[in-house]
Amino acid sequence: MTTEVAGSTAPGLPQGQTAPTLADELLPEAELVEPPQGPAAPAGVPRWWLAVVLVLVSINLRPALSSVGSVLEELMRDTGASAAFVSVLTTLPVLCLGAFGLAAPPLARRFGTERVVLVTLLAMAAGLALRLFPSFLPLIGSTVVAGAAIGIIGVLMPGLVKRDFPKHASLMTGVYTMALCAGGALGAGATVPLAKAFDSWPAALAFWAAPAVLAAILWWPSIPKRRADQPKPVQYAVTGLWRDRLAWQVTLFTGLQSLLAYIVFGWLIQILRDRGLDAMTAGLTVSGSVLAQVPAALIVPILAARRRDQRGMIILIMTIGLMGMLGCLFAPLSTVAFWALLLGIGQGGNFALALLTIVLRSPDSHVAARLSSMAQSVGYTLAATGPFATGLLHSWTGSWDSVALLYLGVTIAGMACGLGAGRARHVNVTVTPLPQRTTVSGA
């Protein structure tokens, strides 16, 4: 059976669709990762233990990204790295998120989700350990390996949440989101104290391999045994998505808000240090900004989903984020904590709105999964230009004023795309179930 999905206007939510829960908003990839009847964790592993290890794994998905910005000044001083090299260093992990995230669903179907998570956790730990060696090749290698691991696990984790906690998916997704933010805050806020404690910034960066190893050890008991009779999920072909204007508006909105976020991840600590804050205060300020994303990511989608469309909310939240960033760049240092919190609220809300538009612009979960994959692959590639352009602009001009213009321009472009993505419409695609092949496998 082939289903035509039109791109007509929908009055508020699509007909027959209730307001999405937080789980619905954050878990569009779940269907591609595990069949609903797929194997859960082995018998005897309690749900509370699964919740603990899921949180620990999730915390590990951000320190590799947020920790480097804390010691950029020391890294450039001790390695003689140019601004161009540092720009590459802050750009590569974002590129890897998009490129390797696309490989996650087929890897999970071939080897099992839990096994892929275990291997990538260990790969992440090995990559982070390379940061003990402060030279070009180890730093680049570490960045690529860690970024690839984060990209793969980041796609797989939501599916596990939806499968293992079907009755508490909203709660666990909120916990998962908070764990991500907590990991980002830890990386930004704890790296400088660790560098002082170790008297070595490479050791502080490599330290984040330790929680990855711990997560892998605790993850091991959750790996299920393979079953020969495990049913395979039904696969669907979705055609027309890459030619649809609305799909591109959702994709570009997702990518542009990510671009703004990774400018902050990669450079805000250094910006605040150049303005006069000491390294520890700058790290704690950005850490607080990341933590402020938590309530915004929880509340904004709930409010936005109740509206006929999301255009007004997108403009409001992007404006809040812009005000916060401009405050961090130009407001008196005595008020920078306030502006950092405002920035965090804007970025957390933008992230949630991007995920929400993927769900609301999709008529069913099959389309949502494909639209999410499109938005991730293109969006992260686009987002990678943000940290790179920031470093180059500062190198060319010797001032952060040019970065303010960049941030303003990207925000305006994001608003323009958001006005399209926020309309109450569906993408225009065709959904066709693929024939199932009967195979006998002992794998």
Parallel, antiparallel or unpaired: strands 3-5 and 236-239:
unpaired
Nearest 10 degrees: CA dihedral of 415, 348, 422, 170?
A: 170
Parallel, antiparallel or unpaired: strands 3-5 and 429-433:
antiparallel
Measured CA to CA, the distance from residue 118 to residue 124 in angstroms comes to 10
pLDDT digits (tens, 9 = 90+) for 40-79: 555 556 778 888 888 899 899 989 888 888 888 888 888 8
Which of 24-33, 113-122, 227-236, 433-442 shows the lowest mean pLDDT across its residues?
A: 24-33
pLDDT at position 24 is: 42
pLDDT digits (tens, 9 = 90+) for 110-137: 888 889 999 999 999 999 999 999 888 8
pLDDT at position 383 is: 87
Residues in a beta bridge with 236:
433
pLDDT digits (tens, 9 = 90+) for 272-323: 999 999 988 998 898 889 888 888 877 887 788 788 889 999 999 999 999 9
Q: Helix (H, G, I), strand (E, B), or coil: what is residue 225?
A: coil
pLDDT at position 359 is: 76
The residue ranges of every structural domain in the chain are: 3-224+237-433
Per the confidence metrics, is the pTM higher than 0.75? no
Do the Cβ atoms of 128 and 212 come closer than 8 Å?
yes
pLDDT at position 90 is: 76
Q: How far is CA 38 from the centre of its chain?
A: 25
pLDDT digits (tens, 9 = 90+) for 219-254: 988 887 666 555 565 666 778 888 999 999 999 999
* DSSP 8-state class, residue 441: -
Placement of tokens 């009755």 in the chain: 167
Confidence of residue 204 (pLDDT cuts 50, 70, 90): very high
Q: Helix (H, G, I), strand (E, B), or coil: what is residue 207?
A: coil
**Mean pLDDT of all residues in 391-409:** 91
pLDDT at position 194 is: 94
Do the Cβ atoms of 269 and 70 come closer than 8 Å?
yes
H or E stretch covering 433:
strand 429-433
Which of 199-208, 240-249, 364-373, 396-405 shows the lowest mean pLDDT across its residues?
A: 364-373
pLDDT at position 79 is: 84
DSSP string, 138-191: HHHHHHHHHHHHHHHHHHHHHHHHHHH-TTSHHHHHHHHHHHHHHHHHHHHHHH
pLDDT at position 323 is: 97
pLDDT at position 174 is: 61
Confidence of residue 216 (pLDDT cuts 50, 70, 90): very high
pLDDT digits (tens, 9 = 90+) for 319-373: 999 999 999 999 999 999 999 999 999 998 898 888 788 878 888 766 776 787 7
The 10 Å Cβ neighbour count of residue 399 is 11
Higher pLDDT: 19 or 360? It is 360
Placement of tokens 């720009």 in the chain: 87
Query: For 312-342, b where at least 16 C-beta lie within 10 A, e where not — what string?
Result: ebbeebbebbbebbbbbbeeeeeebbebbbb
Measured CA to CA, the distance from residue 435 to residue 64 in angstroms comes to 42
Do the Cβ atoms of 195 and 204 come closer than 8 Å?
yes
pLDDT digits (tens, 9 = 90+) for 142-184: 989 998 998 888 777 766 776 777 676 556 666 777 788 788 8
pLDDT at position 403 is: 92
Higher pLDDT: 42 or 7? It is 42
Measured CA to CA, the distance from residue 148 to residue 121 in angstroms comes to 10
Task: Please tell me the CATH code under which domain 3-224+237-433 is placed.
Answer: 1.20.1250.20
The two tokens of residue 26 are 């954050």
pLDDT at position 42 is: 55
